[in-house]
Amino acid sequence: MPEHRQALTPVPPWRRTDYCGALRAGDAGREVALWGWVATRRDHGSLIFIDLRDREGIIQLIFNPEHDAGAHAVAEAARAEYYLAVKGRVVRRSDGTVNAELPTGEVEVIVTAAEVLNPSQPPPFPLSGPDSAAEEVRLKYRYLDLRRPEMQRNLRQRHQALRGARAWLDANGFIEIETPILFRATPEGARDYLVPSRVNPGRFYALPQSPQLLKQILMVGGFDRYYQVARCFRDEDLRANRQPEFSQIDIEMTGPRPEDVHEMAEGMMAAIYQYAAGIELQRPFPRLRYEDAMERYGSDKPDLRFGLELTNLSAAFGGTQFKVFADALERGDAIYGLALPAANQLSRRELDDLAEDLKTRQSLGLAWVKISGDGWQGPIAKFLGADERARVVQAAGIAADGTLLMIAGPRGKARPAMGELRLKLGAKFALRNETALKFLWIVDFPLFDYSEEEKRLVSVNHPFTAPHPDDLGLLASAPLSARALAYDMVLNGQEMGGGSIRIHNAELQLRVFELLGIGRDEAIAKFGFLLDALGFGAPPHGGIAFGVDRIAMMVCGTDSLRDVMAFPKTQKAVDPMSGAPSEVDPRQLRELSIKVAL
Ligand code: ASP
């Protein structure tokens, strides 16, 4: 078999002159040398057609025994995913055989020499056409999956996105600096990945959840403007779109106001879209206060591709006879409404299903009325008087007929629940403008949230975020009302990045730690190096970080992070290709002074 001879030869028999997918009508008449994989093979007896694939696409090859019997024999033996080297002449296809679907479709290559550089096992799934294979299989044979045009396109677009970001940052004086992977825990709200230190038995490094503290220290160290495409590690239970390791474009600047960070980040995002998609973004992006975003969209990452805003109906229902609402208002809860226009009708059954879902998942009740020329219909309509109806119609902005959905409950629960319902209905009734890129900034986040679970204040962003200077007085009296100098960039309902102006004063940092339940001693033990650094003329500083994978996903128009990462992990944090994580040799564990107690 000729393939065996070549498979043992580590260099191709001839240099490549062109990529398969790059040949065009203008190349007709040229002698070319190509390498590539057999995408498809059609045997017409004497004539054999092979579509040969490389990273640029596919080209049709013709093997005619009259041109070269040896090459024809190679084509006869070749099967899907064999890697071939061929030589031949580019010719124009005859009019009837031009393939308009294919960028190379006006030409084909008449092969005069061919070698199998390596044969292939039959691939476990087809590499062309819609991806029908289960994801587990795609990940196990990732090298085959990566050959698919979609994956090739996605990873190249990701590369272009990063090029755009780097070009912009470079042009604006940012310096790329790498920070260590073996470091101490940086709290970003997830569990740490730990790495035992062999030479310091019983001690562990933590893989960075982000380079947060190090980038702050780089500002103390005088670099003024830093960025890094940084690998980050967070040991979380993997929800749909999370990966245990991911990349951030991590940025820090000396002395910015929030608007300066926004302007820089918008410029970078514009460069990303320019490089990766040839799309011009409109700037500046609108800004929305956190409180307004929650009030109007029930989310701190609102999808602005459609309207359907929430309305607060608490005042309109003041003094209501409907007991459920009256009790809720009495408790200090709020009532939120969502007015669906008449064109978007929900059946009784659908309303019941939505109510059931809200009840089981969030223990919240859903009330509704249908408003039409025939009056108000629905289980609660009879409790609502004429004046009240007039107030509600006005508050909810109901112009004519429609369905009004209502949720009563604590604001912290009712708003997100309504926000979720809004998204569900937006998708169901196809209200979203699918081609729109709705960027915005969410600003004025609260500094703290209260964790019922831990019975203490927790940071909404992270503990190094500066309180809003106007709210410093609230730290002592009403910390939950204090705002942070934090901001998120949101696109079409996805958080693309987030950051803040930082605390650059050690005393203030200690006070914030204290509010978070981290006493002075613990703070010094864990973050003494940061507190020390802040004590040596640390300049004011702030920054932001963007999820590269999320950006790539949006640029490529896919809805899975795994489609824009070369080697992602499954929901169980496993790599099906290599089998990581794996057991290790007991000798390695002994060296690390570690005993596994399963
Ligand atoms: N370190 C933050 C994060 O990973 C981003 C930042 O505050 O710059 O979310």
Q: Is residue 224 part of a domain?
A: yes
Please give the number of the atom of ligand 1 that sits closest to the Cα of 250: 8
CATH code assigned at 235: 3.30.930.10
Task: From 431, 503, 429, select the one nearest 461 (Cα to Cα).
Answer: 503
Q: Is residue 127 part of a domain?
A: no
Name the residue type at position 240: A
pLDDT reported for residue 251: 98
Residues 525 and 450 in one domain: yes
Name the residue type at position 41: R
- The three-state secondary structure class of 144 is helix
**Rounded (to 5) percent helix, strand, coil in the chain:** 35, 25, 40
Residues 424 and 445 in one domain: no
Q: Is residue 51 part of a domain?
A: yes
pLDDT reported for residue 3: 47
Residues 156 and 274 in one domain: yes
pLDDT reported for residue 273: 98
Sign of the CA dihedral 174, 179, 181, 184? Answer: negative
Residues 99 and 156 in one domain: no
Domain range enclosing 226? 151-288+439-565
Residues 466 and 379 in one domain: no
Residue 102 CA to ligand 1 center (angstroms) comes to: 44
Helix (H) or strand (E) holding 358, with range, is: helix 348-362
Please choose from 207, 226, 250, 490 the residue to mutate so as to test ligand 1's pocket, defined by most ligand atoms within 8 A of CB. 250
Q: Which residue has the tokens 């990045």?
A: 497
Nearest CA to ligand 1 atom 6: 499
Residues 445 and 424 in one domain: no
Q: Is residue 474 part of a domain?
A: yes
Contacts of 431 (CB under 8 A, 6+ apart): 306, 307, 308, 344, 425
**Encoded tokens for 196:** 């035992």
End-of-domain residue from the set 95, 118, 141: 118
Please give the number of the atom of ligand 1 that sits closest to the Cα of 252: 8
Residues 456 and 526 in one domain: yes
CATH code assigned at 53: 2.40.50.140
Residue 537 CA to ligand 1 center (angstroms) comes to: 23
Q: Is residue 386 part of a domain?
A: yes
Query: Rounded distance, CA 329 to CA 540, Å?
Result: 44
Ligand 1 neighbours by CB, cut-off 6 Å:
188, 210, 212, 498-500, 543-545
Please choose from 192, 210, 216, 496 the residue to mutate so as to test ligand 1's pocket, defined by most ligand atoms within 8 A of CB. 210
Query: Rounded distance, CA 500 to CA 258, Å?
Result: 7
CATH code assigned at 396: 3.30.1360.30
Query: Rounded distance, CA 160 to CA 92, Å?
Result: 32
Contacts of 507 (CB under 8 A, 6+ apart): none
Name the residue type at position 358: L
Contacts of 393 (CB under 8 A, 6+ apart): 371
Nearest CA to ligand 1 atom 4: 210
Residue 433 CA to ligand 1 center (angstroms) comes to: 30
End-of-domain residue from the set 428, 460, 485: 428
Residue 248 CA to ligand 1 center (angstroms) comes to: 9
Residues 170 and 229 in one domain: yes
User: How many domains does the structure of the chain reveal?
Assistant: 3
253 forms beta bridges with 225, 542
pLDDT per 10-residue tile (average), the chain, 598 residues: 63 96 98 98 94 97 94 96 98 94 97 96 88 87 96 97 98 98 84 95 95 97 98 85 93 98 98 98 98 98 97 96 95 96 92 95 94 90 93 89 95 96 97 97 97 94 97 97 98 97 98 96 94 98 97 94 95 94 94 91
- The three-state secondary structure class of 44 is strand
Residues 103 and 188 in one domain: no
Q: Is residue 10 part of a domain?
A: no
Residues 246 and 369 in one domain: no
Residue 251 CA to ligand 1 center (angstroms) comes to: 9
Q: Is residue 585 part of a domain?
A: no
pLDDT reported for residue 1: 47
Residues 282 and 161 in one domain: yes
Query: Rounded distance, CA 531 to CA 535, Å?
Result: 6
CA distances for 337 relative to 103, 328, 331, angstroms: 52, 14, 18
CA distances for 131 relative to 137, 352, 443, 558, 563, angstroms: 11, 36, 40, 13, 12
At what angle are helices 520-534 and 506-515 packed, to 10 degrees? 150
Q: Is residue 79 part of a domain?
A: yes
Residues 96 and 176 in one domain: no
Residue 502 CA to ligand 1 center (angstroms) comes to: 11
* CA gyration radius, the chain: 30
Nearest CA to ligand 1 atom 1: 212
**Residues 129 and 93: beta-carbon distance below 8 Å:** no
Query: Rounded distance, CA 65 to CA 62, Å?
Result: 10
**Residues 268 and 551: beta-carbon distance below 8 Å:** no
